Every structure is written in C-alpha cells, then in structure tokens.
Amino acid sequence: MLRPEHTIFRAPFAVELQLEDTPSPDNFQKWQPGFPDTVRTFEVFTASGDKDEPGLVTGDGGFEDVPDAERILGGINMKGPQYAAIARHGSLVMWGFHSTPERLTDTGRRLYLNTLAYAVAHKGALVETLRLRPVRDDLDRALGIFLGLYPPERRLGMVRRHIGGEAVPPELVTDEALRARWLAERRPFLHPIDDGSNWETAYQLAVDVQARELGVANDAPAFLDAIAARLLADADDALAAALLARYVPGVAPAALRGWLREHRDALYFTEAGGWQWRVRGERATSPRLRRVGDERDGLVRLDADVSATTLTITMRIAEGWHAWSPKAVGQEPVAVAILPDSAFEVAGDLDWSDDGHGMLDGYCQIKVPIRRVAAGDRLHVAVTYTICDASTCKPPRTVELER
C-alpha cells in the first residue's frame, strides 16, 4: 500500500523513493488472494541487529468510507497488503514504524519530518466518524478469507460469530456459491445486531428486517427518500419512524424532509461510525468520558465509556488492593451515580465483574444499563469507591467523569 504521488513524499522535503522489489509476506496472499509475489518497498529505518519492538499497522476496512481519513503508506507486516503504517484521521497522523531516530535512513528521516508537517497542515481538520462498529467489509473478509483458515470443525461457529438473528445453514461453510448468494441477498439490509455493549455479539451483523421491509439498501440515499415518502403519506408510519430513529438519530419524523433539503449534498452513511446517516463537517462524539479535575489515585485507574444503552466503568486496581461490589456483605461497595445534569438515567441493575463473592481486583468492569431522558449527549457520572488491602482501607474517593 503505497501512494507515491502523495504530498507527504514531496513537501516540505523531497523524499527520493529508492524502490525495491521485496518478496511479499505469505500473509499478503492469504489476505488478498492473487496478490503479487513481490511488493515495492523502500527502507525507512536501517536494519537493527537487536530485537526491536514491532511497529503498528491498522486495517483498511471502513477506513476511507468518509473522507475524514486517508491511508498513505503500508509496509511489510503480518496482516494485509492494504493495511497502513502511515495514515491520517482528522488532524491526527499515524506513524506506525518503531525504532530510534539514529536508524532513520535519509529517506525515512525526510518522510518522518514531512509527516510532522503533514499533521500541522491539517490543523482544524475534524474526526467526523470513529471506528465503533463492524462493517460489511469485515463480514466479507470473514467469509471470504478467514473462514478457510479455520479448522473445518470450527468454521460454522466462526460464521455464527459474525452473523446473528437467524439460523445459519451448515451448507454455507462448504458451498462457496451458496454462501455468496446468501450473503448478497442480505448485504443491503445488514445492521449490527445490537449496540456493541455485549462482547459476545459485538461483531455480529444481522438482517434489519424493517430495512428489508422498506426494500431499499440502508446505505443508499434512496433509503432516506423512501422513509420520507412513507412519512409524507402517513405521519405516524411506525416502520418509517423506527428506521429514522435507528439510522438518523436526532432527526424527528416531522423534520426529515427539511433536513434532507438542507443537507442532501453533504450526507454520508457510515458503517464503522455507527451505521448512521450523518452530515459532513460534524465532529464525532466519543464514547470515552473525560475525567473531571487533575487529581489522580495511584492505586486505582478509572475510565468510562458509553454506548446507546450501556455505561461501562473500567477500574484497574493496583496489585494487592481490592474494592467491593454490593454482593459483598458488610463491605462498602463501589457506587455509581448518573448526575441530574445528564441526558441519561440508570435503567436497570448494574452488572459487576467481581470474583463471585463481591471482590473487585485487577482489571474489572461495571456495566450500567442506561436510557435517554433528554436531548443531547451530556453524561455526568460520579463513581465512589473504597479500596482496601489485607490490613487497611483507604478513605472513600469520588471520581467524576463527563462528556
């Protein structure tokens, strides 16, 4: 993956690419059948006699479905030939190579400096979509590339981990033509089976039966027009209202036609960003909450992420220390409160990853079901905990997180 015409190879410093033919890694042909035996490369770092940390590449699936991101350069890696080591998302530029600077070649040094300049040139560029959900390409690769790499007895289970909502015929595993037909029939109407809060189903796609009933692919502009037409005929059309809420959250049925008139030329559909129709130029909303204040606890690191239905509190408790869930009798449990200035409230019982007897130690999570009670994304959370070791307990602390 090399875009030699890209400005990052020209400015501000000319990068002379001394390209060589390097044997393609075996994995490239597994990832992309038919990939050539050699790949054009150039040296960024001189080879090291010492064992060095590996670099980093990131996958191309869904990367460029919205032009807030671009892949620029790949490299020899253990994944696929389209994976990127240099890539941009908004104003953030990834340099996936890893070594010390004295080993940069002249080419590598200029490319690195150009990478810094390229990031600066994108000051103000927004991250508009995130990588939150599986995409159709993921399913294509799972069934087209990875399935054959699994032992035969595990292939059906692998398919079922990617497709939910209906029985998967066992013949799909062995009959490639059937698999292609089966997938083609469903592809236009696929949608994640839930909001990703459940690890077991986070990567599953399923047919959205309501989208199929509408009869238009959910990523086609005609999909929105079909919803608008149904609402024009019947303002209380339940199918149209449900699809609108799912694919265009925040736009009321009565406002859809005006919203379409205003934004039609700037609309895009993002799978990775949440299987939604969005308007270009709007910044992404992060699932990660921000810590309020600068005070930190050296014994507990606390993070929070939110989906449409679940607030997940992650605690990393230092070795030798622990906290308690409500399951522990006579102990002061961790308390999670959603504060009143939030657009959400607690919607059910909390799920604790304790040891079965109420102890929380090491890496642990608290999952809080939530539901929306007001417009907007505001979420303000207070987590109060007491941690103890074998002999003593610290005074309780409260940490606030917000977005």
Interface map 266-295 toward other proteins (x if CB under 8 A): ------x----------xx-xxxxxx--x-
Contact status: 6 vs other proteins (CB under 8 A): no
203 Rama class: left (phi>0) / alpha (psi -120 to 50) / beta: alpha
DSSP 3-state percent helix, strand, coil across the chain (nearest 5): 30, 25, 45
The β-bridge relationship of strands 190-192 and 92-95 is: unpaired
Query: What is the size of the binding site for other proteins (CB under 8 A)?
Result: 63
State which amino acid sits at residue 84: A
Contact status: 15 vs other proteins (CB under 8 A): no
Contact status: 11 vs other proteins (CB under 8 A): no
In the complex, what is the shortest distance from the CB of residue 288 to other proteins, in angstroms, rounded to a whole number? 6
Contact status: 161 vs other proteins (CB under 8 A): no
Contact status: 98 vs other proteins (CB under 8 A): yes
Which among 104-112, 155-163, 225-233, 250-258 is the span making contact with other proteins, rule CB under 8 A?
104-112
Contact status: 376 vs other proteins (CB under 8 A): no
Q: 166 or 363, CB closer to other proteins? A: 363
Contact status: 100 vs other proteins (CB under 8 A): yes
Q: Distance (Å, rounded) from C-alpha 307 to C-alpha 369? A: 10
Q: 37 or 295, CB closer to other proteins? A: 295
Q: 12 or 348, CB closer to other proteins? A: 12
Contact status: 73 vs other proteins (CB under 8 A): no
Helix (H) or strand (E) holding 136: helix 136-141
The β-bridge relationship of strands 205-207 and 190-192 is: antiparallel
Contact status: 110 vs other proteins (CB under 8 A): yes
Q: Distance (Å, rounded) from C-alpha 264 to C-alpha 225? A: 10
Q: To the nearest 10°, report the CA torsion of 360, 361, 363, 366.
A: 10
Buried b (16+ CB within 10 A) or exposed e, 59-95: bbbbbebbebbbbbbbbbbebbbbbbbbbbbbeebbb
Q: Is residue 313 packed enough to be buried (19+ CB in 10 Å), middle (13-18) or exposed (0-12)? A: buried
Contact status: 35 vs other proteins (CB under 8 A): no
Residues within window 186-215 making contact with other proteins, judged by CB under 8 A? none
Among 3, 30, 131, 187, binds other proteins (CB under 8 A): 131
Residues at the interface with other proteins (CB under 8 A): 12-13, 53, 55-59, 61-63, 69, 79, 83-84, 87, 89-98, 100-102, 104, 106, 109-110, 113, 115-117, 119-127, 129-132, 272, 283-284, 286-291, 294, 301, 303, 403
